[in-house]
Structure 1
Amino acid sequence: MSFTNGNSFADRQAAAAKARKALAEKFLSNAKYDPSDPAVVEREARRKAILEARALREVERAKRRAEAAAAEAARKAAEEAARQEQLRVEALQREAEAQRLREEEERLEYEKKLERDARYAARKERKTKKKSVAERWG
């Protein structure tokens, strides 16, 4: 591969060295950090103001998050209290229904006992009162 524009290795090396020297001069020409420089002071003041504003926003966000968490906890506590109250009411209703069923069962048992006693009494009455032949036939 031949280079038609006449760049030899030495030419390329010299160009690279020249570019490195120009870059170094550009870097060294920049002023050193001077804390008393008004531009530096202004830039640091802006950065400080930004950081303070960021910290204030973070505090506000944390405060809003805490308020939201407290509101959520209060809402959950209220829901849980309502749920517990509903469970208590349902338990009372179940107990009342069970009591009503027990009373109904006791009433039915008492009625069955009365019917049974009436049958026994009627049977006893029939046994004690023997009918004569004429009464039996007619």
Structure 2
Amino acid sequence: MSFFSSNNFQDRQAAAAQAKKAMAEKFLSRPKYDPNDPTVREREAKRLAILEARELRDAERLKRKAEAEAAEAARLAAVEAARVEALRQDELARQAAEAVQRAEEEKIEFERKLDRDARYAARKERKKKAKNPFERFG
């Protein structure tokens, strides 16, 4: 059972057709696009101003981003240069320490050789004295 008994199919169909006709009339009653219309020109000018402002903001943002990237690259380059310099200084210090150690080892080895040569000479002298019978029995 229907709530609106007086509202039959033909009435609903007529109401829908009338609504469509009203929407079409509303759409067609709008003025056509006229580029010389002051309101259209004003709307276009506002839109262009917004677009230009957006482009300026984008350009400024890109500029700031490029500057920040350049500063970061410079900072990283400085850090890398400091690291390389520290490694070079460490390598020079290591080489200097190795040179000092080698010189010390060579000095010790030379002293050992002198001691050994002195022992050999003393032994040779003792043997020489032992073989000489005149000095032996004096």
TM over 0.5: yes
TM range (shorter): 0.7 to 0.9
SS of residue in 1 equivalent to 2:130: coil
2:55 counterpart residue number: 55
1:3 counterpart residue number: 2
Whole-Å Cα distance in 1 between the matches of residues 79 and 28 of structure 2? 70
Whole-Å Cα distance in 2 between the matches of residues 4 and 47 of structure 1? 51
Pairwise CA distance, 1:99: 0.5
Whole-Å Cα distance in 2 between the matches of residues 64 and 91 of structure 1? 40
1:127 counterpart residue number: 127
Identical pairs, percent? 65
The TM-score normalised by the length of structure 1 is 0.84
Pairwise CA distance, 1:53: 0.9
For 1:1-138, list aligned pairs within 5 A: 2-6=1-5, 7-130=7-130
* Over 6 Å off, 4+ runs: none
- What 5-or-longer segments of structure 1 have no aligned partner? 132-138
What RMSD over aligned residues (CA atoms) do the two structures have, in Å?
Answer: 1.7
SS of residue in 1 equivalent to 2:15: helix
Amino acid in the other structure paired with 1:41: R
The TM-score normalised by the length of structure 2 is 0.84
Whole-Å Cα distance in 1 between the matches of residues 21 and 101 of structure 2? 105
Amino acid in the other structure paired with 1:3: S
Whole-Å Cα distance in 2 between the matches of residues 125 and 12 of structure 1? 144
- Structure 1 residues 4, 57: CA separation in 2 closer, same or farther (over 3 Å shift)? closer
Amino acid in the other structure paired with 2:95: E
Whole-Å Cα distance in 2 between the matches of residues 100 and 19 of structure 1? 104
